[in-house]
Structure 1
Amino acid sequence: MSFLHTWLLFTQVRAADPPCIIQGLPNPPQLSKDGDVLIGGIFSLHNKWDQPPQTFTSGPKQGECTSLNLREFQNAQTMVFAIEEINNRTNIIPGINLGYKIYDTCGSVEMTTRASLSLINGDGETNSVACQKPETVQAIIGQTSSTPTIAISATVGPLHIPVVSHAASCACLSDRKKHPSFFRTVPSDYFQSRALAKLVKYFEWTWVGALCSDNDYGNNGINAFISAAKKEGICVEYSKAFSKTDPREKILKIVEIIKASTSKVIVAFVAYTDFGFLLREMALQNMTGFQWIGSESWISDLNTANAEWQHVLKGSVGFAIPKAKMNGLGEFLTKLNPASDIAIYKELWETIFQCKLSTQQNVEMKQLCKSNESLTQVQNLYTDVSDLRIANNVYKAVYAVAYALHSSYGCSKRDSGQGSDLCTNLADNQQPWKIVSELTKIHFTTAAGEDVFFDENGDPAARYDVLNWQQGKDGKTVFVKVGFYDASLQTHLQLTFNNNSIAWAHNKPQVNNSYMNR
């Protein structure tokens, strides 16, 4: 074949503009809404992801997500609530309708990475049109823990797409070289680790044990605590890491180390999802009387506080994200409609009310939902808005992105001073790297009066409530605020306590240093 024929054939193939074909399974979001500008969301709406075994004789099969996480579902719905609230305002990105794509990662880092790629490349639903640039989200809200958030940041960071996390607190994420477009509304554990050391020092405990989750959150946090503790003159008898995926034998070895130790104060930098596996074993051996010092992941977690092993943690003290109120959120959460075509809404309904919707086949009558169920009549981690901490961080993250978009799109007041604001640069400014730049400059106040801004590392001001686990009149654990920590103040003023009495381990009315020191 001559060169001319070859060239003609090549140009004809190029001119045909073949359709795009996804190389793999489609990955649609669990919740989505169209808009002029899209924001991505990544949450672990389920606790587990079961991947079927691969036969290597056919393509991979879709995994199945199990065990709905009501707390995470509330966080995702809070993101939707904030977006709807912003769309109804006239002073933030007026005339621009925000849309969203929210993905479920099912507790899997692999699924987290896949969700990140879907948000920047499209979800593969459309595969019969000519290849074209997908509609990329302008920012991503997520995730709730540090290890998957590192995966998100590593995936989209090189593309300068901003990631704003509401709960990933690992100090490693403050490294601007590795995470150039990362921001968060939860304080860095750089501050929490030092605050924990100050707390231990305040009560003159000089001999402690240390436990952590075997992940980025736990290992980085406890190592920073140990370093800070040494400077405060505190000795650490042992330091052990564990995970919910560890075999029981490993958990039991840690239990034996705790039992054989002479220190009675335990600093636990542990994710709430891991903690129960250790506490269950300690409860079985009736190991009580330890003074627990907790990190923010579990110290305010209602599931941990009301579990069958909660008596092991009696008198715990630790740092928590300050709680807040959000007007309208409770009503928004309970208006969820299971009759919609959104599969995960149906799953939430069936999970809460332990019934099956009539749309399903082969369901016995006694299992059918009665159609008179109402979310306003139940109290659980999804509907409870009395102790909003992480959800408030989600709310602030969405608003931070909205204010950054407002500045990037040139939104300003009308010259006449009448009417709503105007945005002039929408068409030319849908470039995420500009949002990163604007996020470094934002400073706004929420409706609850909370200042929101980021430092040069993308971190917010470090402020924590000091919580103490006390027994309520009904016998259940209640979280009592007994102090406050503010890293922005002078060193001697950072940690303060109020007049509330602290309940300690052994039901002692006040701390007894004699049994807690070496």
Structure 2
Amino acid sequence: MWILYTFAMKACAISDSNTNCHLPEETITGYMSRPGDIIMGGTFLIHLDRVYSNIQFTSKPPELQCQMFSIEYYQSMQALIFAVEEINSDPDLLPNITLGYKVFETCYSLRKAAQGTLSMLSGVTGSTPNYNCHQGTRLAGIVGDSGSTRSILMAQILGLYQYPQISYFATSPLLSNRNLFPSFFRTVPSDEFQMRGLAQLVSYFGWSWVGLLANDNDYGQLGLQITMQEIINSGACVAFTENILTSQPNRNAPRIARVIKESTAKVVIAITSDSEFVIVLEELLKQNVTRKIWIASEAWATSDLLSNGRFQGILLGTIGFAMYSGQVPRFSEYLKSLHPSNYLSDPFIKEFWEQAFFCKWPNQTNVTLVDNAREPTCTGTEKLDSLLTDVDRRVSFNVFTAVYAIAWALHNLFNCTTGVGPLYQGACANISSFHPWHLLHYVKRVNFKTPGGNQVSFDERGNPPAIYDIVNWYLTSKGTLEQVTVGKYDLSAPNGKTLNIDNGGIDWASKTQVPLSKCSSSCSSGFRKVIVPGKPLCCYKCARCPQGQISNQTDAVECHPCSWDTWPNLQQDRCLPRTTEFLSYEELLGYSLGAISIFSSLIPLVILGIFICFKNTPVVKANNYSLSYLLLLSLFLCFLCSLGFIGYPQLEKCILRQVAFGLIFALCISCVLAKTITVVIAFNATKPGSRLRKWTGVKVSYCVITFCVFIQIIDCVFWLIFSAPFHELDINTQPGVIIVNCNEGSPTAFWCMLGYLGLLATVSFIVAFLARRLPDSFNEAKFITFSMLAFLSVWVSFIPAYLSAQGMYTVAMEVFAILSSSWAVVVCIFVPKCFIILFRPNMNSRENLRVKRTA
């Protein structure tokens, strides 16, 4: 507020020249005006830059000098003049009231913005606060400024006096604060909406690794904060943030260009103005920084300054937000009618003419050389018809709308009906003596249509409806860059339709599909993202999904497990039904074991037939043929019980197969044990006076068999009662496979049953081994010894193989053990006897059996 304090000191010197108070000499340049009953104020950025001077305060600082004339902004000032003239010619809008105007150039300077504001408030060319010299005219309001920082300064001053201010290009969210800026309005949406839209644009194209470039003023820094937060909230990451230092002549461009060149981010959001960004572009050209996609804020998305063809290597393919484009009827004809001879009071028109036709007026001393030749001289005969057709008029439309908003507020104030007015007891303000706050009441409530048909209104914070055009920069046949509308961002649209883009209409620099901008390559289906410690979330590694889980989308954050009856395919991007595994007859292994079992079961029957046929021979009689018959029948059942382990394991099969196996083998080994005991007793009973003769009958053998089998029956009964085997679907043993098997219920009962068989075989082995010194001709004990040794070897080997096998191979191992152990008994006990009976009949005699061992 030091500016107000300084200027307030001038108020003491009004007309008394004899006092010590006086106004300092002050020269305000760069303005134009027209008288009227009511004055419309305006501030415009005609020049995009100022001349930077190294001020040491050893001499009087030079006057501020402007440079870089902008045709685009000059025509926006002309839009105010055109709107005022059109309103004055409209008999229905403000009849019998003439609008005047007073417009100032701010030249990108806070000082000139303050000078122009105070000058319009005071009504004189000076800038004295709290001093009104309008002499019968009233200041309605001010249209301006284009920059947020300058608009904030103006709004702080105008808010003190409640003068309406309508900006056409200031987008800072701070200006929506009604407590700080009660009289501020604008015809361009707040950056609060635009920056969210820029983040949505990043998300729409799938970019997750972007850079941010912003001015170091209110516009850039507030936009930077909002955009960064929205980008992070959407799941993307910011690769870098750089500031354009507006206080430095080079704008920090060398560092900015180096950072952009070294960054892996392919997309850069630039929240800046064209006058600041052009210096950065020059440095990017110098360092040959290309192949980046630029996202433009509305401050430069439609800039004519940057449409120079030499920037095409950098800006081609740029996409950005632009102010909504409306129609201003007859404005083109008005611009074409401009001529220096018709507008002598316009201090900018000659400079506009020089810029438009690249010429110099004869009285200009700063003539420059173009391609080693002097610029041509302006004659005034040049035609504007072909020069202003391609100029973007979005800013001009906003200026035009702002002027009409104030005019309609004046019109409503003028047509107020006494008794229903906004003042005390329904009184109305007088159009010739209204106060600024009177008009402010009507500005808040304007709702009208422009001559082009656009609806205009303000919300409670002074903002218009948030609608943006999305533009894309493409190269024309003339070699210049132009902007074409490819979509719209409309916050009033239904959910899901806020952002509408015609992807086919976008011309990317690479001429291909949407460019990629990611810190890390996308993780394909079947992989998930793994965060790298110390790096942003977008910089990750791809890891294969854990076993049993899938990811069916790109860049999946986590994998999802399949259902219990499905399993991932090889790529782990979808779940397939699990394969079912059991020892089936359709499998080669199951088919082979089944065939062997059936074939093997026939062997005991064949041997039984041989024994029946030769039952009267000494070999058959000497081997206790009743026990041999029972043993052969049990062996027949042993071979057949292996079939219970082949095929789909039904519940009934699960309950019976291990029990049947245990009982049949108990019967088999009990017969072997009984046979062994019988052989030992029979041999020893032949001694004179032996008391063992009474134990040589079959009753002893049957008692042994019954006792041994009964113990196994008891074990099996308890097993079935307390923890019977059951049908089971095993999905944990083998990945991707459902193993259909029989759960033994109680492993203890199973191993007790198997251990009992081992005990019987061990006892038989020991007894047979002790009887190994029987005569060679009567070698039954040796055969039993070998058979039990083979039997025990098979089942001892079976234990580790059974425990290490999985799936159907566990069952196959048990079937193999059953067949092997059964064959061991058949081969070792019965094959030698059959060989003698069939092929050595001379040895099948009583004499041969009675031969004693000789030394």
State the TM-score, normalized to the length of structure 2.
Answer: 0.53
The CA deviation at 1:478 is 2.8
2:344 paired with 1:341:
yes
Structure 1, residues 112-158: CA drift from partner, whole Å, max 9, x if none?
A: 1111111111334799xxx9732262200111111111111112211
CA contact (8 A) 2:473 2:483 kept: yes
Structure 1, residues 472-504: CA drift from partner, whole Å, max 9, x if none?
A: 334432322221110122342211123633222
CA contact (8 A) 2:339 2:380 kept: no
1:440-455 mapped onto 2 (5 Å cutoff): 440-455=444-459
2:349 paired with 1:373:
no
When residues 22 and 202 of structure 1 are mapped into structure 2, their CA distance, relative to the original with a 3 A threshold, is same
- Equivalent residue letter for 1:189: D
When residues 25 and 233 of structure 1 are mapped into structure 2, their CA distance, relative to the original with a 3 A threshold, is same
2:402 paired with 1:397:
yes
Provide the rounded CA distance (Å) in 2 between the counterparts of 1:367 and 1:301: 26
The CA deviation at 1:232 is 0.9
CA contact (8 A) 2:265 2:518 kept: no
Provide the rounded CA distance (Å) in 2 between the counterparts of 1:140 and 1:399: 12
- Equivalent residue letter for 2:69: L
CA contact (8 A) 1:74 1:391 kept: yes
Partner of 1:427: 432
The CA deviation at 1:247 is 5.6
Q: Secondary structure at the match of 2:451?
A: coil
Partner of 2:222: 220
1:204-243 mapped onto 2 (5 Å cutoff): 204-243=206-245
Picking from 298, 310, 318, the partner of 2:300 is 298
Partner of 2:684: none
- Equivalent residue letter for 1:341: L
Partner of 1:406: 411
Higher helix share: 2
2:33 paired with 1:32:
yes
- Equivalent residue letter for 1:470: Y
CA contact (8 A) 1:503 1:510 kept: no
Partner of 2:492: 488
2:472 paired with 1:468:
yes
2:298 paired with 1:289:
no
- Equivalent residue letter for 2:132: K
The CA deviation at 1:349 is 3.1
The CA deviation at 1:226 is 0.8
The CA deviation at 1:211 is 1.0
Q: Secondary structure at the match of 2:264?
A: coil
Structure 1, residues 166-194: CA drift from partner, whole Å, max 9, x if none?
A: 01111111111111110000010000011
Structure 1, residues 68-91: CA drift from partner, whole Å, max 9, x if none?
A: 222211011110000000001122
CA contact (8 A) 2:40 2:140 kept: yes
Bigger CA drift: 79-88 or 317-326?
317-326
When residues 52 and 318 of structure 1 are mapped into structure 2, their CA distance, relative to the original with a 3 A threshold, is closer
When residues 389 and 46 of structure 1 are mapped into structure 2, their CA distance, relative to the original with a 3 A threshold, is same
When residues 25 and 55 of structure 1 are mapped into structure 2, their CA distance, relative to the original with a 3 A threshold, is farther
When residues 490 and 114 of structure 1 are mapped into structure 2, their CA distance, relative to the original with a 3 A threshold, is same
CA contact (8 A) 2:216 2:243 kept: yes
Provide the rounded CA distance (Å) in 1 between the counterparts of 2:362 and 2:271: 45
Provide the rounded CA distance (Å) in 1 between the counterparts of 2:360 and 2:289: 41
CA contact (8 A) 1:29 1:123 kept: no
2:16 paired with 1:18:
yes
- Equivalent residue letter for 2:401: K
Partner of 1:134: 133
- Equivalent residue letter for 1:113: A
CA contact (8 A) 2:197 2:489 kept: yes
Partner of 1:420: none
Greater relative contact order (CA < 8 Å, ≥ 6 in sequence): 1
Q: Secondary structure at the match of 1:336?
A: coil
When residues 402 and 513 of structure 1 are mapped into structure 2, their CA distance, relative to the original with a 3 A threshold, is same
Bigger CA drift: 168-177 or 281-290?
281-290
Bigger CA drift: 492-501 or 200-209?
492-501
When residues 232 and 372 of structure 1 are mapped into structure 2, their CA distance, relative to the original with a 3 A threshold, is same
CA contact (8 A) 1:330 1:385 kept: no
When residues 276 and 370 of structure 1 are mapped into structure 2, their CA distance, relative to the original with a 3 A threshold, is closer
When residues 439 and 516 of structure 1 are mapped into structure 2, their CA distance, relative to the original with a 3 A threshold, is farther
Q: Secondary structure at the match of 1:296?
A: coil
When residues 486 and 276 of structure 1 are mapped into structure 2, their CA distance, relative to the original with a 3 A threshold, is same
Bigger CA drift: 90-99 or 41-50?
41-50
The CA deviation at 1:353 is 4.1
When residues 153 and 284 of structure 1 are mapped into structure 2, their CA distance, relative to the original with a 3 A threshold, is same
Provide the rounded CA distance (Å) in 1 between the counterparts of 2:193 and 2:515: 25
Provide the rounded CA distance (Å) in 1 between the counterparts of 2:143 and 2:303: 21
The CA deviation at 1:313 is 1.8
Structure 1, residues 39-73: CA drift from partner, whole Å, max 9, x if none?
A: 11101222344488889799776444333222211
State the TM-score, normalized to the length of structure 1.
Answer: 0.85
CA contact (8 A) 2:358 2:375 kept: no
- Equivalent residue letter for 2:79: T
2:76 paired with 1:71:
no
Provide the rounded CA distance (Å) in 2 between the counterparts of 1:69 and 1:124: 25
Provide the rounded CA distance (Å) in 2 between the counterparts of 1:289 and 1:360: 42
The CA deviation at 1:199 is 1.1
Q: Secondary structure at the match of 1:484?
A: strand
CA contact (8 A) 1:214 1:243 kept: yes
Provide the rounded CA distance (Å) in 1 between the counterparts of 2:474 and 2:340: 38
The CA deviation at 1:220 is 0.7
Q: Which has the larger radius of gyration?
A: 2
Structure 1, residues 13-34: CA drift from partner, whole Å, max 9, x if none?
A: x9x9637964332436621100
Bigger CA drift: 132-141 or 59-68?
59-68
Bigger CA drift: 26-35 or 137-146?
26-35
Partner of 1:388: 393
Structure 1, residues 423-464: CA drift from partner, whole Å, max 9, x if none?
A: 9832232x1112221111111111222111111110000101
The CA deviation at 1:360 is 8.0
Extract unaligned runs of 5+ from structure 1. Answer: 1-13, 413-422
- Equivalent residue letter for 1:79: L
Bigger CA drift: 273-282 or 23-32?
23-32
Structure 1, residues 331-387: CA drift from partner, whole Å, max 9, x if none?
A: 212222323432333333344445555678999x997643423333x51xxx34653
Extract unaligned runs of 5+ from structure 2. Answer: 1-11, 368-373, 418-427, 522-538, 540-855
When residues 507 and 353 of structure 1 are mapped into structure 2, their CA distance, relative to the original with a 3 A threshold, is closer
Bigger CA drift: 195-204 or 343-352?
343-352
